[in-house]
Amino acid sequence: MLRTNVANDLVHRSLGTSAGAVGRLGDGQFLAGSTKITRGVLKVTKYVYDFTEGSRDMKDLLGGKGANLAEMTNLGLPVPPGFVITTEACKTYLESGDEPAEMRDEVSQHLAALEEAMGRRLGEADDPLLVSVRSGAKFSMPGMMETVLNIGLNDESVQGLAKQTGSERFAWDSYRRLIQMFGKTVLDIEGEHFEEAIEAAKKARGTKNDLDLDEQDLRGIVDTFKGIVRDQAGREFPTDPREQMDLAVRAVFDSWNAPRAILYRRQERIPADLGTAVNICSMVFGNLGMDSGTGVAFTRDPGSGQQGIYGDYLQNAQGEDVVAGIRNTLPLQDLEGIDKPAYDQLLAIMEKLENHYRDLCDIEFTIERNKLWMLQTRVGKRTAGAAFRIATQLVDQGLIDLDEALTRVTGDQLAQLMFPRFDDTTDVKQIGKGMNASPGAAVGKAVFDSYTAVKWSRSGEKVILVRRETNPDDLEGMIAAQGILTSRGGKTSHAAVVARGMGKTCVCGAEQLDVDTKKRRLTVGDIVVEEGDVLSIDGTSGAVYLGEVAVVPSPVVEYFEGSLDPDSADADELVKAVHRLMTHADEKRRMRVRANSDTPEDSERARRFGAEGIGLCRTEHMFLGDRRKHVERLILADGDKEREAALAALLPLQREDFLGIFEAMDGLPVTVRLLDPPLHEFLPDYTELSVRVAQAEARGEEHENELRLLQAVHRLHEQNPMLGLRGVRLGIVVPGLFAMQVRAIIEAAAERQKAGGNPIVEIMIPLVDAVQELELVREEAERICVEVCEREGVDVKHLIGTMIELPRAAITAGQIAEAADFFSFGTNDLTQTTWGFSRDDVEAAFFSAYLEKGIFGVSPFESIDVDGVGALVRIGAEGGRKTKPDLKLGVCGEHGGDPASVHFFHDVGLDYVSCSPFRVPVARLEAGRAVLVSDGSDSR
């Protein structure tokens, strides 16, 4: 913006006039219908652009379709003349309920220029200009918003169109298309009214094909359609061409907030405040006869990425005929035999566009009486495999460099390539569908409890663990199973989180399945699946199948596992492309990538997948199974002696756990989190125990231990255990608990070090709220470290830090950093405590409503809430480094493997992210991409 005295001089210079010729601009005055002086400030707001005025870089203003039509126009390609009404006009309309005052005049000016260029006037009787009115947002939203063709036709101009084209049938068919599209789109008339009228006309003619209807049939349909408009809309069909166009423009604006558009934006995470542009383009017709047609072309195969000629063509048709599937299309190659000059011109344009955009292009075109017209181009959507192949092909062609190639692929695409897939060419019987909680394809016999899953697995059976929902007790069964299926829960339920961590296929919340664990079966309608019956579950789509479905393995996982050499003859083009881009991502990225792992086996796999350490080793998982009895002894301990005995029994077991992990991660950092969950999670269920005690009393049996357990469960009961006695609070209140764990960690590290290894130890204290808590635990931990090292004769290097997972910890991070060697942001609990959500409850209770109403576009447990939780991460990082500039910062929540979240953590300045082993390659790729995006690189 400019002050008035500067603005006057600027305006005159831009117009080639003098101040004396135009006069001084004052408040409230307009220039060229798009420039206004307000409080002495020049505000330029241009609402309409000719195709010749735009470019592909103006997508924010002109939308993707308009920007690309302008780009093709400027390239000298055959584009029908037209103009674009901007997204700013749409936003003003949606905010105020009316178009900007200046817009109508600008539209009139551009329409007049279009009429002059075409030598015709909109809707004139003798030689009418017809236009299309199409939506076009910044991001492609195919079919979500409105289009109206043949604007300008009425009872007079239809005669002129017949004369102009030499075809009465064509003219009346175009007129009925206008009334039908206008009625549905602008007047909100149900489409079935029009469709029934067409069916009645075809029935009267004795045909099922629209093309068999003649001129008289179509005249009758037009009259019928006008009656439908009169009856359903309460008004006559507008015959004024400008009124048709203006109403169509409003309908396109309104369609931005149509339910299907809103739903699509939420699904694709497209911001709701962008608005849509409106493209007004002179009509060209592919339905003038067999020398005309319409088609879609791709410069490469969007399915595989292979170069070649891909697309469809339909003679004597308009674009919607191809989409509606009214007639079978021809392969694009057949156009060569139909109209070779147009075919050759199209191939030359395809090559020009791909070289210009330096990417796969999706093209829509029409041929009108042997003349080719380009109606749209855009960078084409593609499969995950095609994305990697095309990116490296374009590098080899010299069109882009490796940096840009890396920005052309995503972590989500890589994840799709890593999971096995069902062979959808086989016959399958789908019996249900749930949430696609963890991708992949799994086949096995249905089992209904963890014990059976482990038992059958050990005997060589592949099993699917079926539960209403899972809990920590099911961990062994989840590990043993090929996949997990639950009838309750969502993407952040226990089953989903653990399954993703293990790279295990999981379908959650398949509500149509009635799971009866007591009878050991599930039912769907009249279908009964007994224990031992085979199920197949698709974690990518959420589908559940009865019986075995063939699985296609992923060579990309074989590459990451190290069993497939990317340079070998066995490696296909996709694996080679993934290898090239992963190598480049590793070279570019600043952040390290670690894994969340609790076992030596997971740690070994994580290392093969490229993990550079362990960012979260959860010790609570080590207390389950056969070790539960020792935890129960600890909880029931009556005095120091019993408690110390229970801890002594746990010590060697913990030491062996850590030793195996240190061996698997030798030379890389391992962050061990001390016990976090409340103790009641290691005890039996209260109701189950009560029944056992009552039954024992009734039979006169000994039940002292069960009674003591019942009393302990009652004593440890909390109204909100996730905010109760857990984490660092346990270490302070339960004497010796954290001390035992620290001793086991340091003893294991000392043993590994004496064996010639290089353990890098990081001890992490969970749920710290105040620096005093960390100081108390740290003092005891350091004393134990000194004691063990002196006894073993080694110097175990170690760091002691904390998780930042509570709002207070983030806000007081500067104080906490005084006692910490590192911070790791626990974004799962930080999300819960910032939002006031209980993750185990809220998703099923109201998340679907929140997503539907747009309160958030994606679950904050899936992708970091940048404005809320993210702000606390930033505060914590800045506060910690203000105290200690070299403080190591990482994240170990589920967000560490989410592509969008990885970019945020890079921007905040974290040193590493940590995620499940299976998501390590995704995080590596996104950490490399984050550097390029932050540096301002763009994939277009």
* Rounded alpha-carbon distances, angstroms, from residue 383 to 264, 390, 412: 19, 10, 11
Residue with tokens 């199948």: 545
CB 584 within 8 A of CB 406: yes
Q: What kind and span of H or E run contains 220?
A: helix 215-233
Q: CA 936 to CA 186: how far, in whole Å? A: 41
Residue type, 86: T
Q: Using the 8-state DSSP alphabet, how is residue 918 labeled?
A: G
- Nearest residue to 89 (alpha-carbon basis) of 258, 250, 233: 250
CB 65 within 8 A of CB 106: no
Q: Which two tokens stand for residue 210?
A: 């629209």
* Rounded alpha-carbon distances, angstroms, from residue 275 to 108, 295, 462, 787: 22, 28, 51, 66
H helices of 619-726, in order, are 628-636, 640-664, 686-699, 704-716
- Nearest residue to 733 (alpha-carbon basis) of 623, 830, 643, 826: 643
CB 158 within 8 A of CB 171: yes
Strand partners, 673: 618, 764
Q: Which residues contact 194 (CB under 8 A, 6 or more apart)?
A: 179, 180, 183, 184, 225, 228
Q: CA 457 to CA 454: how far, in whole Å? A: 5
CA 662, distance to chain mean position in Å, is 35
CB 152 within 8 A of CB 244: yes
Residue with tokens 């001793």: 743
Q: What kind and span of H or E run contains 293?
A: strand 293-300
The number of beta carbons lying within 10 Å of the beta carbon of residue 30 is 14
Give the 3-state secondary structure percentages of the chain, helix then strand then coil, rounded to 5: 50, 20, 30
CB 803 within 8 A of CB 764: yes
Active-site residue among 90, 110, 281, 494? 494
Question: For this structure, is 90 an active site residue?
Answer: no
Active-site residue among 506, 617, 785, 892? 892
The number of beta carbons lying within 10 Å of the beta carbon of residue 99 is 19
Residue type, 668: L
CB 636 within 8 A of CB 628: no
Question: For this structure, is 892 an active site residue?
Answer: yes
Q: Using the 8-state DSSP alphabet, how is residue 844 labeled?
A: I
Q: Using the 8-state DSSP alphabet, how is residue 109 labeled?
A: H
CB 483 within 8 A of CB 496: no
Strand order in the sheet with 527-530: 514-516, 521-524, 527-530
- Nearest residue to 410 (alpha-carbon basis) of 23, 927, 852: 927
Judged by DSSP in three states, 617 sits in strand
Q: Using the 8-state DSSP alphabet, how is residue 819 labeled?
A: G
Please state at what angle helix 899-908 crosses helix 869-883, rounded to 10 degrees: 30
- Nearest residue to 171 (alpha-carbon basis) of 183, 185, 196, 154: 154
Q: Using the 8-state DSSP alphabet, how is residue 847 labeled?
A: I
- Nearest residue to 61 (alpha-carbon basis) of 73, 51, 47: 47
Q: CA 579 to CA 374: how far, in whole Å? A: 38
CB 654 within 8 A of CB 622: yes
For the chain, count helices (H), then strands (E).
38, 37
Active site (catalytic) residues = 494, 892
